[in-house]
Amino acid sequence: MLRCLVLASLIACSLGAATLSRRPRLDGRIVGGEDANIEDYPYQVSFEYAYSHRCGASIISANWVVTAAHCVDDVSTSYVRFRAGSSNRETGGTLHPASNITAHPHYDYYTVDFDVAVVRVSTAFNIGTGVQPIPLTTSEPQPGQIAVVTGWGTLYEDSQTLPRRLQVVNVPIVSREECSRAYEEYGGITENMICAAAPGGGKDACQGDSGGPLAVDGTLAGIVSWGAGCAEPSYPGVYSNVAVLRSFITEQTGVN
């Protein structure tokens, strides 16, 4: 099944031939994971839109978060806020309204290329237990390295229920060549993308939490972006490649 991000319930997901002309959205559900504490992943925040959880995001400084560009499609800044310091979806922690949203100027809705956006919050994050920035990676992770994915997305394909508790799953990085072969029908992947998947499937990020972090060695290496199916052995999860997109993030935020 193709994964599609529901934008305020206005865009429907279809399996028809027309859908195959664009890459399916990886909406960030955590499949095969386990309950997690925010203190162990303090950079993770919930991107709420009109008071409901919409996507994931990562704190990169006291004033900035990074997320996926497709998470900010057609949003009004005044309805965007980030919940920090809580392990539970839509409760606890502190709320930080958005003041400015900037998506990568080359982001493409159909190819999901350059899928990164930065958001400045109007009230700074109070850095402490459960609320910490994550450094941006300076190098692309290598195949086989273990990546950590967190989020509040649904727990299995076709579920409409989001978990209350933050979820975490570990998945190894997949080589660019292997991932590009898997997605040949979608045109492969670009240098702005990296992939991760558990051997044999069963663990993945998927529906309900795009824009969340893929961390490697304590740095932000990827952003939940797109993919086909959920935890299927033939299709790795695809993430925005922070090592390549880092210059955009730095230019917009001043975060090195």
Positions marked catalytic: 70, 115, 210
Return the C-alpha torsion angle 145, 146, 152, 158, nearest 10: 80
The distance from CA 35 to its chain's CA centroid, rounded to whole angstroms, is: 18
Question: Is residue 77 within 8 Å of residue 99, measured between CB atoms?
Answer: yes
Query: Nearest CA to 194 among 247, 231, 144?
Result: 144
